[in-house]
């Protein structure tokens, strides 16, 4: 790479950093989110709105659909999610969770820098050309999506994109700024996701969605099969087909110790799981 090209790339990165620093100063002068919550290195903090809805669907990449208008997605009571863009799935959530994890010790508005190789390795992926292209596609989906989330009908967060980024095409190094509206979702409640368990569920999108959803509940309640089908954004055309996928996904959760047992009835699913220490304190009526 010539010195002229190198200087141009450095200037572009400097400009990106200056824009972010200017925004950071403006945010600190307003009622901005001060910092992200902290969590252990083996966990991934994730807003409940991302786990209790079809925003990051439990579907394979080849099953994605494009929402061509502001579409209301399935979500639990109290949350409304509207979305415009190419459907996000659990692999996109992996990317966003990892970037948030890298950013958790920085003030919102600052950039986080990483190499594509390091991010792929952290997600247990190889570093071949196809995986680099997969990461570029995921970053584009996360950057281009328009998300609008309303809580209890009281206030709405709307933002184009979960992140903004600069990429050096020679080094494949990323400089990423996470959008503040999406980070503010943490203020409405978040969950610690056990990263090692999640890694064991790779390429099992419905199991991944269930893992996140169930992690966000201290004591799972019986749920209708049709409700899980709707909330997960599943592409299964019939409930019979979905029940088959659901059984395989729940078997996977039992095998990694995420849940202890389950029973799928004619209409409802009943689960047994051991709450985490934090969730147990919640169940005992203590704050965490």
Per-residue pLDDT, 180? 85
275's enclosing H/E stretch is: none
| CA distances in angstroms from 117 to 76, 79, 102, 135, 193, listed in the order given | 36, 36, 14, 10, 23
Q: What distance in Å separates the CA atoms of residue 133 and residue 96, rounded to the nearest whole number? A: 16
Domains with residue ranges and CATH for the chain? 3-190 (no CATH), 202-283 (1.10.10)
Strands, E assignment, the chain: 43-47, 56-57, 66-73, 79-86, 88-89, 112-115, 146-151, 155-160, 163-168, 173-178, 190-194, 223-224, 261-264, 268-272
**Whole-structure pTM value:** 0.85
**What's the average pLDDT block by block, 10 residues per block, for the chain (288 residues)?**
59 64 51 75 96 98 93 97 97 97 79 96 95 97 96 92 95 94 91 96 97 92 96 96 97 96 92 73 55
Per-residue pLDDT, 218? 84
């Amino acid at each position: 790479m010539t010195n002229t090209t190198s200087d141009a790339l450095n200037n572009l990165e400097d400009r990106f950093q200056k824009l972010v620093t200017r925004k950071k100063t403006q945010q600190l002068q307003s009622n901005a989110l001060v910092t992200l919550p902290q969590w252990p290195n083996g966990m991934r903090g994730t807003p409940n709105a991302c786990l209790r809805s079809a925003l990051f669907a439990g579907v394979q990449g080849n099953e994605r659909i494009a929402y061509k208008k502001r579409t209301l997605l399935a979500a639990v009571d109290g949350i409304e999610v509207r979305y415009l863009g190419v459907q996000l799935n659990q692999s996109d959530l992996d990317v966003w969770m990892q970037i948030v994890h890298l950013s958790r010790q920085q003030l919102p508005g600052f950039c986080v820098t990483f190499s594509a190789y390091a991010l792929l390795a952290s997600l247990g992926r190889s570093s071949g050309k196809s995986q680099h292209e997969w990461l570029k596609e995921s970053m584009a989906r996360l950057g281009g999506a328009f998300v609008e989330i309303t809580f209890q009908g009281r206030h709405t967060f709307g933002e184009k994109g979960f992140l903004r980024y600069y990429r050096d095409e020679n080094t494949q190094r990323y400089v990423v700024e996470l959008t503040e509206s999406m980070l503010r979702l943490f203020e409405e409640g978040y969950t610690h996701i056990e990263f090692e368990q999640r890694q064991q569920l790779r390429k099992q999108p419905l199991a991944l969605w269930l893992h996140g959803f169930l992690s966000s509940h201290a004591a799972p309640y019986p749920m209708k099969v049709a409700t899980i089908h709707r909330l997960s954004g599943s592409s299964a055309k019939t409930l019979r087909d979905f029940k088959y996928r659901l059984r395989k996904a729940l078997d996977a959760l039992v095998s990694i110790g995420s849940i202890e047992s389950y029973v799928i009835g004619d209409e409802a699913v009943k689960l047994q799981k051991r709450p985490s220490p934090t969730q147990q304190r919640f169940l005992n009526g203590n704050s965490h």
